[in-house]
């Protein structure tokens, strides 16, 4: 089931559209075979209208809830990117304010680490990006060691406290950012939403057939919009490969400021 995050968005959107169109046609065929007698047709249509309104209302609620989750995750990724950029700049300033040769060693180590982090987020998803991420994680240990030496050399001074907080901010923002990038919407929710879209299309086809009119053009436009909304929701939740990504300019500016 993890493969859904590797499927091209165009395939998902087109596939969902075709499945909903097929469900619509099946719903109309089912009504043709199971339609009530002519004297009960008006009452049956009214009941179908109430049921259809409830189904489409619940579908709208599920789509809005899932879309909101994806959008909130996108905003949180952007916030964490800004926090990490600020934390890197803060550690650089703290190292300059501290005394001793050990404090001077923080800046070049931090520069290498920050460049590796920037490269990891700028590369497209794949083996090259995974290697860049591993390289950035490996560089965190030398950065921690350099900071610890500077803290020891500045023990008992305000600089030591500042260095502790600055390094903690760098590590915390990086760990949180990596964890959020790896997280996605629960796949059970996506599959449930997909099935619900198809079932809703079938019920809409059933109700439209009950009214004696097919409305294929309007129905197809509705399913197309629904498929595009579903694709946009997935795109927001694909920070590594989607078309909608968090701009990295603030983070790149922070790395360039290190020299």
Between 42 and 111, where is the model more confident? 111
Tell me how far CA of residue 4 lies from CA of 9, 81, 86, 147, 230, in angstroms: 9, 26, 34, 42, 13
Q: What percent of the chain is predicted at pLDDT more than 90?
A: 47
How far apart (Å, rounded) are the C-alpha atoms in residues 98 and 188?
A: 51
- The reported pLDDT for the residue numbered 211 is 63
How far apart (Å, rounded) are the C-alpha atoms in residues 112 and 135?
A: 10
Dihedral angle of Cα 233, 238, 242, 246, to the nearest 10 degrees? 100
Question: Could you tell me which residues come within 8 angstroms of residue 20 by beta carbon, excluding any fewer than 6 positions away?
Answer: 197, 198, 200, 201, 223, 226, 227
Cβ atoms within 10 A of the Cβ of 4, count? 13
In this structure, are residues 155 and 167 in contact, taking their beta carbons and an 8 Å threshold? no
Residue 34 banded pLDDT, cuts 50, 70, 90:
confident
In this structure, are residues 240 and 125 in contact, taking their beta carbons and an 8 Å threshold? yes
Condensed to tens digits (0 to 9), the pLDDT of residues 146-173 reads 999 999 999 989 999 999 999 999 999 9
Exposed, middle or buried by CB within 10 Å (0-12, 13-18, 19+), for 28? Answer: buried
Residue 144 scores a pLDDT above 90:
yes
Tell me the CB-side half-sphere exposure of residue 34, using CA atoms within 13 A: 10
In this structure, are residues 159 and 94 in contact, taking their beta carbons and an 8 Å threshold? yes
Exposed, middle or buried by CB within 10 Å (0-12, 13-18, 19+), for 207? Answer: buried
Residue 32 scores a pLDDT above 60:
yes
Statement: the pTM of the whole predicted model exceeds 0.85? no
How far apart (Å, rounded) are the C-alpha atoms in residues 16 and 22?
A: 10
């Amino acid at each position: 089931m993890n493969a859904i995050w590797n499927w091209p968005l165009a395939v998902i959107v087109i596939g969902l559209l075709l499945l909903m169109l097929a469900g619509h046609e099946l719903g109309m065929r089912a009504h043709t075979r199971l339609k009530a007698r002519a004297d009960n047709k008006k009452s049956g249509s009214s009941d179908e209208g109430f049921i259809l309104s409830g189904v489409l209302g619940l579908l709208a609620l599920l789509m809005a809830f899932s879309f909101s989750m994806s959008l909130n995750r996108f905003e949180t990724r952007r916030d964490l990117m800004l926090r990490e950029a600020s934390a890197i700049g803060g550690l650089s300033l703290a190292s300059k304010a501290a005394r001793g040769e050990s404090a001077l060693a923080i800046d070049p180590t931090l520069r290498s680490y920050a460049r590796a982090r920037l490269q990891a987020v700028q590369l497209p998803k794949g083996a090259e990006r995974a290697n860049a991420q591993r390289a950035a994680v490996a560089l965190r240990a030398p950065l921690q060691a350099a900071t610890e030496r500077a803290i020891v050399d500045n023990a008992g001074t305000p600089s030591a406290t500042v260095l502790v907080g600055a390094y903690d901010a760098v590590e915390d923002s990086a760990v949180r950012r990596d964890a959020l990038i790896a997280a996605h919407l629960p796949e059970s929710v996506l599959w449930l939403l997909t099935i619900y879209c198809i079932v809703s299309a079938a019920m809409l086809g059933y109700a439209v057939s009950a009214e004696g009119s097919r409305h294929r053009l309007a129905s197809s436009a509705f399913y197309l919009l629904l498929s595009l909304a579903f694709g946009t929701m997935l795109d927001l939740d694909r920070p590594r490969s989607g078309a909608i990504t968090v701009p990295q300019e603030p983070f790149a500016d922070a790395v360039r400021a290190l020299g």
